Amino acid sequence: MERSRTFIALEIKEDLKKRLAAVQQKIGTQTGGIKWVKPDNMHLTLKFLGLTPEDKIGEISDILENTAGGLNSFAVSVSGFGAFPSRNNPKVIWAGLKADEALIKLQKKIEISLEPLGFSREKRPFSPHLTIGRVRDGSAKKKLKDAFENIQADLDSFEVKKITFYKSDLMPEGPVYTVLKSIQLSNSI
């Protein structure tokens, strides 16, 4: 049976992607050894599904439509930078997002609605963030810690207008995302 890597995410506005690219460039001038996420690939992951049987794609799309189709749009604010698992041991560099009640509810509804299809709920608490880079070189860690202290970025909020169900193909030059389904939210701000 054919399977594809899939995930559900929120898109972010182009202006914010440009600002995050400027942060990447600023950090990049201070430290190397980081593989940066291409601005076009920046998004907020709500649920990573992993290898998904092709015959479930339609059913997942229908569930997302029923789960999110009636929800209102909402704003999400960017709230600084950090790293997983920690700033002292950075492996993933991210821009944090304020955990707005609408965002938390949406993510939880998606988790619950997909469980009957065999997609287990995430065991870790939802930590809304935008991945902007991955540390590839251990020598970058100390320099990166210093760079975090100096990041000054004018970041703002963005309106969440739709949920997108993506297929992800891993290529040597980086992942390629294909939209499988977009679900428009109601009442754009």
3-state secondary structure 86-109: CCCCEEEEEEEECCCHHHHHHHHH
**How distant, in Å, are the alpha carbons of 43, 103, 110 from that of 164?**
10, 14, 12
Dist CA 189 CA 174 (whole Å): 34
Work out the mean pLDDT of the chain and round it to a whole number: 88
**187 backbone dihedrals φ, ψ, rounded to 5°:** 50, 60
Tell me what percent of the residues of the chain surpass a pLDDT of 70: 97
Looking at residue 114, its pLDDT comes to: 96
Looking at residue 165, its pLDDT comes to: 97
* Pairing between β-strand 34-36 and β-strand 129-135 as defined by DSSP bridges: antiparallel
User: Would you place residue 1 in the very low, low, confident or very high pLDDT band (cuts 50, 70, 90)?
Assistant: low
Q: Indicate whether 189 pLDDT > 50.
A: no
Q: Indicate whether 71 pLDDT > 90.
A: no
| List of domains in the chain | 3-184 (3.90.1140.10)
Task: Give the pLDDT mean for 96-121.
Answer: 92
Q: Indicate whether 44 pLDDT > 90.
A: yes
Dist CA 55 CA 75 (whole Å): 34
And the tokens for 146? 């210093």
Q: Is 150 a catalytic residue?
A: no
Q: What is the pTM of this model?
A: 0.89
Query: Which listed residue (129, 133, 155, 160) is catalytic?
Result: 129
Q: Indicate whether 152 pLDDT > 70.
A: no
Instruction: Dihedral sign for Cα 59, 123, 156, 27, please.
Output: negative
Q: Indicate whether 181 pLDDT > 60.
A: yes
Task: Give the pLDDT mean for 114-141.
Answer: 90
Q: Is 103 a catalytic residue?
A: no
User: Would you place residue 28 in the very low, low, confident or very high pLDDT band (cuts 50, 70, 90)?
Assistant: confident
User: Would you place residue 128 in the very low, low, confident or very high pLDDT band (cuts 50, 70, 90)?
Assistant: very high
Query: Which listed residue (19, 43, 47, 56) is catalytic?
Result: 43
Task: Give the pLDDT mean for 74-91.
Answer: 87
> Mapping DSSP to helix (H, G, I), strand (E, B) and coil, where does residue 117 land?
helix
- Give burial (CB, 10 Å; 0-12/13-18/19+) of 22: middle
Looking at residue 46, its pLDDT comes to: 96
Q: Indicate whether 41 pLDDT > 50.
A: yes
User: Would you place residue 154 in the very low, low, confident or very high pLDDT band (cuts 50, 70, 90)?
Assistant: low
